[in-house]
Structure 1
Amino acid sequence: MTRTALFLHGGTAGGWAWQPQIEAFDDRPTLAPDLPGYLSRADERWTSFDLAADRIAALIAEKADGPVDVIGLSLGAITALHLASRHPDLVASAFVTGTSVLPYPSAQRAGNRISLALWNRRFYWAGMARVLGLRGDDAESFVAMAPPVSRSSIRDQLREVHPGGVTRLESVTAPVLAVVGEHESAYFHRSLSAIGAAIPHAEIGVAPGMHHGWSGEDDVLFNRILRVWLDEGRKSDELLPPTSASPSAAQLGEERPRRQ
């Protein structure tokens, strides 16, 4: 039986962001829930990654027939690894990208403080729509339902994420493919290396030419790489090796603030 693919979204979106993947993987069961505190689950305030993982575990037990292949971006990637650590019996494999596992540098924390200050402002979300590559009706719909989660829930997330080490990575036993966009900041490239060091069996790679939200930036490339992982259980040949694509030492101090 084909396993269910569970998609976990980033911190400025919702389950809707995975629509290109849901359509591309219509040959298998899929789940793309809003995370606790987001959109349809706004009444479930996000309080911790433990609680989020437990809520997702309950969803898997209810909706899936056995362990799932979990796919996560940014916030969803952290949650995916936390789920794999906390509920190993429910995760058959994990595909994660743009994962924060190290302490946030000061510039990134400052960027998140600015985002929090603007969280309820329409112009902030209009700009975020452009960052996500949304246009026309898609952009208007995105702005109309923004913010997708309360500012207090985002504060709770960042309180855990900023110090790093949300998850005991060494306790993750499921097969893992961790990816970073070639043009993501040095922080995310270092986090990728940290995942590889903490999870010796993990595969790691770099998505050529991509930025943080590349599941929407180039959904065709994303889906091809994910297809190889889900169908063949291996890293796609399209991924670059980290050693050839990671930022140079001179770039390491040039972090650009980015919301998770």
Structure 2
Amino acid sequence: MKRMSIIVFLLILTHFQMNAQHPSTGRYATVNGLKMYYEIHGNGAPLVLLHGGGSTIVSTYGAILPELEKTQQVIAIELQAHGHTPDIDRPLSFEQDADDVAALLAQLHIAKANIMGFSNGATTALQMAIRHPELVNKLVLASALYKRNGTPPGFFDGFNSATIDQVPPQLKTAYLAANPDPKGFEAMFRRDVARMKNFKDISDEAIKGIQAPALVISGYTDVILPEHSLLLARTLSHAQVAILPGGHGDYIGEVCAPDKQSVLPALVTAMIIQFLKAP
């Protein structure tokens, strides 16, 4: 009986720890009518982290953020309808997300920052560089999509029949750790599906107009085709590219990555830091 009480206590403690906002780093800002959650970690040059679709700060960057914050001032953001940030009555788009990030940087009096985005967050990072180029120093584009043909055949058709039960359980757990309201999780799912169904190509002209140096990263068996990552790097004016073993986000230890002992996240983090430090 005593052992059972201890187990129950530990489970309750774990629940509250998972659902707690980071007391020293988590905060909110009102931007464009949105109550946006963000965290600030470390010191150094500002590095904005933009998570993937259906994700949170922790589920996308939990494995590499502790190393990044050793040399950067990390500003990790949860975008509309994701994690701690609630949904509001307005369209969800990559362009709107970029405008929200720009408004947050203005509130924080940050004139220029490095921007890293993963998956949907990388598309938002591209929109940051297109819509707010004066704010962008360097770009880290992880599994970035800018054309619909950058995914395997049938990828976008899948959103026509997508159900919430298909969301990876790791992403659901991560969302509910940030916001235990299941209605919020359902809203995020609907928003992300609608956004992907309505996704339109970003023109080559817009990509070529981006002057910020960029590091393009993806996995060889990623949902983003390696050919697409190579094309993006070649279309950007100043870019480097790294195609790594593994799938979508495995190389940064994203929460769905199957190999929790992989050395790739450490390697990629070192690569990112070296890129950001270079003149």
1:108 aligned onto 2:144: no
Structure 1 residues 148 and 16 mapped into 2: Cα distance closer, same or farther (>3 Å)?
farther
**What amino acid is the match of 1:200?**
S
Between the aligned partners of 2:62 and 2:118, the Cα distance in structure 1 is 14
Correspondences of 1:62-73 after superposition (within 5 Å): 62-63=107-108, 65-73=110-118
- Number of residue pairs aligned between Structure 1 and Structure 2: 219
Check conservation: 1:21, 1:223, Cα contact below 8 A. Answer: yes
Shift of 1:144: 5.9
37-46 vs 90-99, which moves further: 37-46
1:181 is aligned to: 219
**Residue pair 2:117, 2:124 contacting (<8 A) in 1 also:** yes
Structure 1 residues 140 and 151: alpha-carbon distance in aligned structure 2, compared to 1, 3 A threshold: closer
| Gap regions ≥5 residues in structure 2 | 1-42, 258-263
SS in 2 for 1:183: coil
CA distance in 1, matches of 2:174, 2:144: 26
Q: Distance in 2 between matches of 1:30 and 1:52?
A: 18
1:228 aligns with 2:270: no
Residue pairs, 1:145-156, within 5 angstroms:
147=185, 149-156=187-194
Deviation string, structure 1 residues 194-230 (Cα, Å, up to 9, x no partner): 21232132111212x2211121244323312212112
Q: 2:129 aligns with which of 80, 84, 94?
A: 84
Segments of 5+ residues of structure 1 without an aligned counterpart are 234-260
| TM-score, normalised with respect to structure 1 | 0.73
CA distance in 1, matches of 2:102, 2:175: 31
**In 2, Cα distance between equivalents of 1:5 and 1:174:** 14
- Report the aligned-residue RMSD: 2.9
Decide which moves more: 142-151 or 18-27.
142-151
User: Does the 8 Å contact 1:3/1:66 carry over to 2?
Assistant: no
Whether 1:210 aligns to 2:246 is yes
Are residues 101 and 154 of structure 1, via their aligned partners in 2, closer, same or farther at CA, if it must alter by over 3 Å? Answer: same
Provide the rounded CA distance (Å) in 2 between the counterparts of 1:219 and 1:145: 31
Asked if 1:58 corresponds to 2:103, the answer is yes
1:16 counterpart = 2:16: no
Alpha-carbon offset, residue 12 of structure 1: 1.9
Of 56, 66, 85, the residue aligned with 1:41 is 85
Normalised TM-score (structure 2): 0.68
Closer, same or farther in 2 for the Cα pair 1:139/1:199, shift >3 Å? closer
Structure with a larger share of its residues in strand = 2
When Rg is computed on C-alpha atoms for both structures, the one with the higher figure is: 2
Equivalent AA in structure 1 for residue 48 of structure 2? L
Summarize deviations over 1:38-87 as a string: whole Å, max 9, x none.
Answer: 12222335522221111010111122533111111100000001101110
Change (3 A) 1:229 1:223: same
**Is the contact between residue 51 and residue 121 of structure 2 (CA under 8 Å) also seen in structure 1?**
yes
User: Identity percentage over the alignment?
Assistant: 20
Matched AA of 1:232: A
Bigger drift between 50-59 and 31-40 goes to 31-40
Match of 2:75 in 1: 31
Distance 1:225 1:201 in 2: 17
Shift of 1:182: 1.9
Measured at CA, do residues 166 and 62 of structure 1 come closer, stay the same or move farther in structure 2, by a change above 3 Å?
farther
Distance 1:46 1:231, change over 3 A: farther
Structure 2 distance, partners of 1:78, 1:165, is: 9
Taking a change above 3 Å as real, the CA distance of residues 142 and 182 of structure 1, as seen in their structure-2 partners, is farther
Distance 1:2 1:204, change over 3 A: same
Contact 1:12 1:148 in 2 (8 A): no
The match for 1:241 is: none
Between 1:169-178 and 1:151-160, the stretch displaced more is 151-160
